Amino acid sequence: MTSLYHGDERRLGDRILHALELALDENDLETAELLAKAMETALTRIGGPDSTDHRLPPAGLDAAFDRLDAMRHRQHCLL
């Protein structure tokens, strides 16, 4: 199966971040939560306690998690 993704990003984390941003844009908390978990898994899956990843996290990661936290807060206030 061929990916329909045509961005410049090569790492899985970059592609998950793009999907997370789309879920946030659409106010889809359930999907955003799943994608945030996938992002955490992708960023920590290789290595071990003494392993160091010298790559920088994808640009926009902190902003996306801030948006997710704000969405969680809004949803909690509505309950």
Better pLDDT: 40 or 1 = 40
| pLDDT, position 61 | 93
Report if residue 69 sits inside a domain: yes
| pLDDT, position 2 | 43
| pLDDT, position 6 | 53
Whether 72 shows a pLDDT value over 80: the answer reads yes
Report if residue 66 sits inside a domain: yes
How many domains does one find in the chain?
1
By residue range, what is the domain housing residue 70? 12-43+58-78
Phi, psi of 23 (to 5 degrees): -60, -40
| pLDDT, position 49 | 65
- Evaluate the CA torsion angle 21, 26, 27, 32 in order and state its sign: negative
Report if residue 4 sits inside a domain: no
Tell me the pLDDT tens digit for each residue of 24-70: 999 999 999 999 999 988 887 766 666 666 677 788 999 999 999 99
